[in-house]
Copies of this chain bind each other. A is one copy, B any other.
């Protein structure tokens, strides 16, 4: 946030929020380059010059949106409790990520879109914030494994697997939907994932 929340007019608050909401819609559907400022403006119920009165450029809308979303996107991982029961913590995290695929598919696709094109506007945050968070998580995983509370697997690939197995349902929704029909796209997904991680991660005695 460049401007402090306090100094914002009633109208500024409403319009900035509407713009970011509209931008999420449009960017997640079309990617950065595929989205037009006009589309976003229309979706936000503003004229293009009016939108550009609130954000100086398309680029700025996008980065504002990214930094606003990244935090909440990563929150479940931060909530991982090192003192909890390892397998249950991981299952809980997986469930939350799967739920986010269902409830926040636009956010998932926004990141997917950006990542698949090399994440030109995200690399900095990836290599700092996310990297740190992942390193911390990996240490937790390793402690659990050393203590014999979790089967030994590569901790980073474990994390990737959770991300890809859950976000897949949001990012490639069209494909999943097509191939699951007439069932709903996520029918049975939770059971599948719970079984997968239980079998893989339950320590051998």
Contact = CB atoms under 8 A, between A and B. Distances in A.
A121 to B, nearest CB: 11
A200 B188 CA distance: 16
Interface of A: 29-31, 33-34, 109, 112-113, 115-119, 123, 126-127, 130-131, 134, 151, 153-154, 156-161, 163-165, 168-169, 171-172, 174-176, 178-180, 188-189, 191-193, 195-196, 199-200
Contact of A165 (B34, B116, B164): B164
16 contacts: A31-B34, A31-B113, A34-B34, A34-B117, A109-B116, A126-B175, A126-B178, A130-B179, A154-B192, A156-B180, A157-B192, A157-B193, A159-B179, A164-B172, A165-B165, A196-B196
Given A30-B33, A165-B164, A118 B174 contact: yes
Given A33-B33, A126-B179, A157-B188, 20 more contacts: A30-B33, A31-B34, A31-B117, A33-B34, A34-B34, A112-B172, A115-B172, A123-B174, A126-B175, A126-B178, A130-B175, A154-B188, A157-B193, A159-B179, A160-B176, A163-B168, A164-B165, A196-B196, A199-B199, A199-B200
